[in-house]
Structure 1
């Protein structure tokens, strides 16, 4: 089976039955949790903003499934193209900042720099 196009909206969701067959209790708990996190009402942060956060996190983790789903959900919740763009830039800044911050560890782990005499 070729994996050059692993993202397939029509087919991939069918594998939820594998979770349902082998770990139905965990799937049920996750589904309930997810519904609470993205409930339309009863949360302090409006749904549109939660969906935009999810888009940014999906971009940061590079999860195409999350980007696909939450971009469409953000749009349904009223997100504009400008808001989607800003969410993408937030994700980009966080990824770059993480690279910068963790890059400092290279100096830390490498140990002291030995200067040559002369």
Structure 2
């Protein structure tokens, strides 16, 4: 991951979005800002950031993990909360494997013999 992840330089490639699809970029930025606005939401920002961190861990997006772990701490999250968010993501991924394993049994037709 470290071979291609560059926190500073990678952001410069946003210029491609700005040039090629500025309307979509603006819509995404507005949407993202609304989701993560500090006030005015039912779920406090710290918990939204912890949710985003768990999703980032689940999707294995290094950019999301980088941004949302820092944003969660800025919003008041502790290392213990970061750890629990990581374990929640881990449990959901493992649960998905378990559930899809059952689907494999169903789809294989082996249980019919």
Alignment of 1:23-34 (within 5 A): 23-34=21-32
Q: Which structure carries more helix by proportion?
A: 2
2:69 alignment partner, one of 47, 68, 71 = 71
Q: Distance in 2 between matches of 1:80 and 1:50?
A: 14
How far 1:17 sits from its partner (Å)?
A: 0.5
How far 1:114 sits from its partner (Å)?
A: 6.3
Q: Distance in 1 between matches of 2:2 and 2:87?
A: 27
Runs of 5+ in structure 1 lacking a partner? none
* RMSD of aligned Cα (Å): 1.4
How far 1:105 sits from its partner (Å)?
A: 1.1
When Rg is computed on C-alpha atoms for both structures, the one with the higher figure is: 1
Residue matched to 1:59: 57
**How far does the alpha carbon of each residue in 1:20-72 deviate from its partner, in whole angstroms, 9 at most, with x for none?**
00000000000000000000011000000000000000000000000000000
How far 1:112 sits from its partner (Å)?
A: 3.6
Q: Distance in 1 between matches of 2:112 and 2:36?
A: 54
Q: What TM-score does the superposition give when structure 2 sets the normalisation length?
A: 0.96
- Aligned pair count reads 113
Q: What TM-score does the superposition give when structure 1 sets the normalisation length?
A: 0.92
